[in-house]
């Protein structure tokens, strides 16, 4: 928990309680349904929560923003982001239902009201458009963009310019990735913005980890 306070100093009392509760809840759920590697459960706040919150250092989700977490698994990055942005709305999608059972249980336990889950493949979501799709180490960028693009609402040029003037971002895909991305980006046909997470957080774990943003 201390590692979060190293980089963020504006949590509310409610957010602090929710974040503190995550460690015990994930340890308890992980005994029943393995959603986090056994070797990583002791580094939950660094490798999962802080990693997820790297998105919050660069992106501002205004009240009412609609976000889909593609292949959310046990709730990353969706759960930490939902805590950080309580007035944004999150849909966490995964094809493995038991993982979403963990998300539902944790959200209920900490009183997280801005999360919904859906047990399906992201391609099956046809009834909703989103401002952003977020994802963490799920698939190559080419696939992520192919799946996400139809779900991201269209934005007009004037609105996009206004967002940029406010230091905000146009609708798009935000994913957490690692390693050498050159080939993956080339094959995707996209022109993403790349942010090195090691420029945000100094821990060795974040070397060669990146935020990849593809605006629509």
Task: Could you list the residues known to form a binding site, using ranges.
Answer: 71, 76, 122-123, 136
Kindly give, in sequence order, each residue whose CB lies less than 8 Å from that of residue 15, ignoring residues fewer than 6 positions away: 83, 84, 86
Tokens 């991201």 — which residue?
152
Tell how far CA 109 is from the center of its chain.
Answer: 20
- Annotated binding site for S-adenosyl-L-methionine, which residues? 71, 76, 122-123, 136
Q: Which parts of 59-195 fold into alpha helices (H)?
A: 78-84, 97-110, 141-148, 157-165, 182-188
The two counts, helices (H) then strands (E), for the chain are 9, 7
DSSP state, residue 83: H
- Specify which residues 174 forms β-bridges with: 134, 213
C-beta separation of 209 from 51 below 8 A? yes
Cα torsion 198, 13, 87, 41: sign: positive
Cα angle, residue 95 at apex, residues 135 and 45 outer, rounded to 5°: 45
DSSP state, residue 152: B
């Amino acid at each position: 928990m201390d590692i979060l306070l190293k980089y963020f100093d504006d949590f509310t009392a409610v957010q602090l309680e929710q974040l503190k509760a995550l460690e015990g809840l994930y340890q308890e759920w992980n005994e029943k349904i393995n959603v986090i590697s056994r070797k990583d459960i002791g580094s939950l706040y660094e490798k999962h929560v802080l990693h997820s919150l790297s998105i919050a250092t660069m992106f501002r989700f205004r009240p009412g923003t609609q976000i889909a977490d593609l292949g959310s698994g046990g709730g990353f990055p969706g759960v930490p982001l939902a805590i950080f942005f309580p007035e944004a709305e999150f849909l966490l999608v995964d094809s493995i239902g038991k993982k979403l059972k963990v998300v539902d249980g944790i959200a209920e336990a900490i009183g997280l009201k801005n999360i919904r889950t859906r047990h399906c493949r992201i391609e099956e979501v046809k009834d909703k458009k989103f401002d952003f799709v977020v994802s963490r180490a799920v698939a190559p960028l080419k696939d992520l963009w192919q799946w996400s693009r139809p779900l991201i609402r269209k934005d007009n040029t004037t609105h996009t310019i206004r967002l940029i003037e406010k230091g905000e971002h146009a609708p798009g895909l935000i994913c957490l990735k690692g390693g050498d991305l050159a080939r993956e980006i080339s094959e995707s046909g996209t022109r993403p913005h790349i942010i090195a997470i090691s420029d945000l957080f100094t821990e060795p774990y974040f070397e060669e980890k990146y935020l990849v943003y593809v605006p629509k």
